[in-house]
Amino acid sequence: MVESRVAIITGAGSGIGRATAVRLAAQGCRTLLFDRDGEAVARVAADLSHGASAYPVDVTDALAINSAVAAITDSFGRIDILINNAGGGGGARLLDVDAANWEAMLALNLTSALRLIQAVAPVMARNGGGAIVNVASLAARFASPKGGAGYSAAKAGLLALSRQAASELASSGIRVNSVLPGPTRTELTKFSVRRDESFPLGKWIEADDIAAAIAFLASEDARMCSGAELVVDGGLSVALG
């Protein structure tokens, strides 16, 4: 369980981040919610009953990350859980990817996770350890016919970063694992033409399905899991493989 733990969740203003915040708060976790949309994340914090706090942080801004983590450390004295969920795609196909798109995809989906791990891991280590969960994507393993080369490359890099962090931080009692969502029903996918029948398990993946996997990896139930990659895709990768 995660009761009485202190957790940072990025991209918490909507979708998977919001669902994760709701689930962890319901389990008694103190949730510290990061999102560049300050109004959205403030609404999520207000909706939660267990002492949630909102931080309008753009995770591509290293100074903002360091400032927020320092403030949290001063206030709570500890950080037990980090959920690197913030991310987003861009549909540029391989030959159309320009430098700006490439750098933006890496900054949001990969470099932000590195910066947050670097900021949070020393705090975790001083308190005996912690759990980090990085939210990657099925796109890290499979090519998309719709493009998104920068996004796919960044998410594949996030898996490699997770494995390296799991190896280097294990001696400090810090576990690092990844969740790979398939297409998930959120505001970003509300116009998708994909139907329930396209998933081998017969229905769309919901944000709370991903949140459940994240909460498991963040909890003591997963105390012997590190470097793991948990796929939550309704069976799609079975068909793709």
DSSP code string of 150-204: HHHHHHHHHHHHHHHHHHHHGGGTEEEEEEEE-SEESGGGTT----GGGSTTSSP
User: Cα(208)–Cα(221) distance, rounded to whole angstroms?
Assistant: 18
Average of pLDDT values for 196-213?
A: 88
User: Cα(145)–Cα(19) distance, rounded to whole angstroms?
Assistant: 28
Q: Which of 151, 180, 186, 236 is an active site residue?
A: 151
Whether pTM > 0.85 for this model: the answer is yes
φ and ψ at residue 27, rounded to 5 degrees = -90, 10
Provide the residue count of the chain. 241
pLDDT tens by residue, 15-66: 999 999 999 999 999 999 999 999 999 999 999 977 899 999 999 999 999 9
Using alpha carbons, select from 125, 120, 131, 129 the residue that is nearest to residue 29: 131
pLDDT tens by residue, 115-162: 999 999 999 999 999 999 999 999 999 987 777 999 999 999 999 999
pLDDT tens by residue, 68-114: 999 999 999 999 999 999 999 877 889 999 999 999 999 999 999 99
* Residue 151 known to be catalytic: yes
Domains within the chain, CATH numbers bracketed: 6-240 (3.40.50.720)
Helix, strand, or coil here: 53? strand
Provide the pLDDT confidence category of residue 192 given band limits of 50, 70 and 90: low
